[in-house]
């Protein structure tokens, strides 16, 4: 992916020298983010070698989600809350269906059975159910109470955000302290080639790469958000499709590269921890943070009332993932099933106006 770094200077030229090419600028900025997110994921992978599977998955999810968070903050500041909420939905289903699906297909083609800790996976699946509920309940209230309940919806969103943040912190305490053995990985099943210790980066180098790539992603994200509306209009894409599919795929580049690599090395606890953990973090941490941030940086506060299509998409994704991780084993066909659902949802969102 490093060859795509050529789009970094191309983006800057289109933004500051040859203005007026918003569609080209949108694609150039999106392609520039992909290798930057890949570098960010590579740095967190090296950190995972020193911190263990559980902490490594958290680091990858956190820094990998930096792109989504930065893009969302820029869009909020620009007064585009619907694109922000669409990008959150897209990030959740993208991680669960696209990232996890691609990882299972890649790992399953190399290894007939992919084994992971069933208790840890079920714990994460339960957290995903909370994430789905956090989208479903405000949408239900909106439909029952009608348009006149806008102020109440803002209050509900703030209250929900507090509960979600507490739940997320509790989940971190569970996975990193009290029950960290459930997320340590199935040691006897690891591929002998799973170690990268011979080429491991130092902690200092890893954090320097993290800092530089995150700053560059912030810059490219600002340019991406600034061109998204014109690009979507010229290409005949709705803002919802851009947010749910296009922006989410760009933002998930870091999770994609590392999750697939870990699945190929049969480190499924780390691979699933990245895909599922990233979705949990988006729903239980990033969404509440954006709600609070909107009161300071956005023209109007953001709520947690998502569209019916977005709620259904997340619900279907959470249900299918729960079915797949329930037995502690996975294979390539289950990856194909995840990817199939993602394509079906993508088709619906493309034609949804």
* CATH classification of the domain holding 122: 1.20.1420.30
- What is the spatial distance between Cα 121 and Cα 328, in angstroms, rounded to a whole number? 7
pTM exceeding the 0.85 threshold for the entire prediction: no
Residue 188, pLDDT score:
44
Distant-in-sequence, close-in-space partners of 133: CB < 8 Å, separation ≥ 6: none
First to last CA, the chain: 33
Distant-in-sequence, close-in-space partners of 144: CB < 8 Å, separation ≥ 6: none
- How many domains is the chain built from? 1
Can you tell me whether residue 2 is helix, strand or coil? helix
H or E stretch covering 190: none
Q: Domain range spanning residue 310?
A: 2-351
Residue 211, pLDDT score:
80
Tokens of 173: 């305490």
Residue 186, pLDDT score:
57
Do the beta carbons of residue 334 and residue 305 sit within 8 Å? no
Residue 109, pLDDT score:
92
Residue 270, pLDDT score:
82
Residue ranges in the chain whose pLDDT is less than 70: 48, 52-54, 56, 64, 67, 146-149, 184-199, 251-255, 353
Residue 33, pLDDT score:
82
- On the CB side of 223, how many CA atoms lie within 13 Å of its CA? 31
Residue 148, pLDDT score:
65
């Amino acid at each position: 992916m490093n060859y795509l770094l050529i789009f970094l200077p191309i983006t800057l030229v289109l933004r500051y020298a040859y203005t007026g090419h918003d569609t080209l600028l949108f694609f150039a900025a999106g392609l520039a983010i992909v290798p930057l997110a890949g570098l960010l994921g590579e740095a967190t992978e090296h950190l995972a070698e020193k911190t263990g599977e559980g902490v490594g998955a958290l680091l990858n999810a956190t820094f990998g989600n930096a792109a989504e968070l930065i893009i969302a903050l820029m869009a909020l500041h620009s007064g585009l809350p619907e694109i922000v909420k669409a990008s959150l939905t897209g990030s959740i289903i993208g991680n669960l269906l696209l990232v996890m699906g691609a990882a299972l297909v890649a790992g399953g083609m190399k290894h007939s059975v992919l084994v992971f800790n069933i208790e840890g996976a079920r714990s994460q699946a339960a957290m995903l159910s909370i994430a789905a509920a956090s989208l479903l309940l405000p949408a239900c209230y909106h439909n029952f109470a009608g348009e006149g309940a806008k102020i109440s919806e803002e209050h509900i969103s703030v209250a929900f955000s507090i509960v979600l943040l507490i739940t997320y912190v509790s989940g971190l305490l569970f996975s990193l302290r009290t029950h960290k053995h459930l997320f340590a990985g199935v040691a006897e099943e690891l591929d002998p080639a799973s170690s990268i210790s011979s080429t491991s980066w130092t902690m200092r180098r890893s954090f320097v790469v993290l800092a530089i790539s995150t700053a560059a992603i912030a810059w490219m994200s600002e340019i991406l958000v600034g061109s998204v509306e014109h690009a979507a209009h010229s290409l005949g894409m709705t803002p919802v499709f851009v947010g749910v599919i296009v922006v989410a795929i760009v933002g998930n580049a870091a999770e994609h590269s590392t999750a697939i690599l870990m699945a190929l090395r049969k480190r499924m606890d780390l691979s699933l921890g990245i895909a599922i953990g990233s979705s949990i973090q988006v729903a239980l941490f990033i969404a509440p943070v954006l709600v609070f941030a909107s009161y300071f940086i956005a023209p109007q506060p953001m709520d947690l009332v998502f569209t019916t299509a977005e709620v259904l998409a997340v619900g279907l994704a959470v249900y299918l993932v729960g079915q797949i991780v329930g037995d502690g084993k996975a294979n390539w066909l289950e990856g194909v099933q995840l990817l199939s659902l993602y394509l079906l949802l993508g088709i619906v969102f493309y034609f949804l106006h």
